[in-house]
Structure 1
Amino acid sequence: MACLNTLKHEIRVLESAFPKSDEVFQVVSASVDELTCRFISKTSKKYDIHANITETYPHSPPVWFAETEDTNVTNAIERLSNTVGKDNHVLQQVKLLLRELTTAFSMEEPPDLDDRLDLVSLPQIINGHDLHDHHEEYEDSEMEEEEEDMEEDIHLEMEDNTSSHAAQKDEDIHPSHMATLDRLKANQRQDYLRGSISGSVQATDRPEN
C-alpha cells in the first residue's frame, strides 16, 4: 500500500486526538486496513462509523459506511467519497467528517480541530503523493536501468569472447593450412550453390604434414 509510513503516522495522530474518553468523537479501533470511529450527538446517541482503507489509498479516499440509516450521518459520509488530493488522507477525511456531522446535528465543532489534526507534522505531500514514495519510485527506476545496462554489458562481453575465441582458433592453424581451409570452404560453398553437397575431404585436398 502506498504511503504506508504516512498512514501509520496519521493513525497515531487520530488515536491521540480522539481517545475513547472524548465526549464527541472517539477512535474506537484503527489499523492500516480499517478505521472505526464513534460520533456522539448532543442527545448522547452514539453512531459507529467505519472506513475501509484500500490498496489505492491515498490516490482514492477510504470507503466509509455506518451502522445507521440516519440521513445526517449517511449524507456526511457520502460527501467524503468526492474528495481528491490531500483531502483523501485519513486525517483530512476525519476533519471533514466531523465538520459535516457537527453541522448536521447543530453542534459546535470540537475545539482546536485543525491543531489536533495537523498535517504539517506529516511528510510533505505533493498532489496527494508522499515524497517517500516518489523517492522509492525513482530508486526502482534507477535500479531497472542499471540492470538493463548490466545485461547489455554481459551480452557485449559474451560476443567479444566469442569473437576472440574464433580468432584464437584461426591463429592456431598453420598459415599453409589456412589457404587450404579457405579453398575447401569456397569449394563447399560452390557445391551448395550448385545443389550438390560435397562429401568427405579428398586425399588430394588434405594438407600435407
Structure 2
Amino acid sequence: MKHKFFDRSNEQACRIIFAGAIAIAVASIYLVYRRRKYRKKDFVSTSPFYEDGHPMERYIFSLTNDNQPIQAMVEQGGDCYAVHLDGKYAGSLWQDEENSLQWIAQDEALKPFVSDIGKKLSNVYSRDGFSAILMGTYPEVVATDWKSSETLEVIVEQETDLEIFATFLKDEVMNLVSFDDHLDLIVKKAHDAYFVIITVN
C-alpha cells in the first residue's frame, strides 16, 4: 500500500507556515531598509549641522522675557554665534578678548538677552547644559524636562520612530558628552506611557 507523506491537513498547515515565513522575511527586509533610510536621512545629514561645508554647532535654550518663555537657537560659526529668538534672527554675539571675554552684541533685539545666553553658553558642556546640545543636534527632540538632577526627560516628535531613534541615540550620545557626571535620559513621546532609558556615564 502506498502511503502519502502529507495528507490534506498537513499540506494546508505547511502552506500557512510557508506563507508566514515569507511574510516575516519581507517584514524583516522592510525594517532593515527603513532603518537604513531613516538613519541616513534624519540623523547623519543633520548632526552636526553644516554651513558652506563647515560644521556648525547648534544649541537651543529656553529664555524668558517679561515672564514669557522664549526659545533661543544659537549657532556657532567660528568665533561668533548667530542667534534666533522664537525662530526669528536676532543678531550675533561674541566674546571680547580685550575686555575680559565679556559677551558682546551690537543688535538691539539681542542685547537684552546677551547676559543670559552668555551664561548658558559657558555652561553648555556640563550636565546641566546637555539638554541644549540634544535639542540643537536632533530636530526630532521637541522638548526636554529635568525630572531630577540626574534624570532628563527627552520628548521626541510624534512621527519619530522611537525605537530607531533611541537605538541611534544610545550609540551616539557619548560623542556629545563632555562631562563625567551620571545622567539618565528618559526618551519618549508626549502623552505616551512608553519610554526608553539611556544611561550616560
TM-score by length of 1: 0.28
TM-score by length of 2: 0.29
Q: Relative to total residues, which structure has the larger helix share, 1 or 2? A: 1
Higher relative contact order (Cα pairs below 8 Å, separated by 6+ residues): 1
Q: Relative to total residues, which structure has the larger strand share, 1 or 2? A: 2
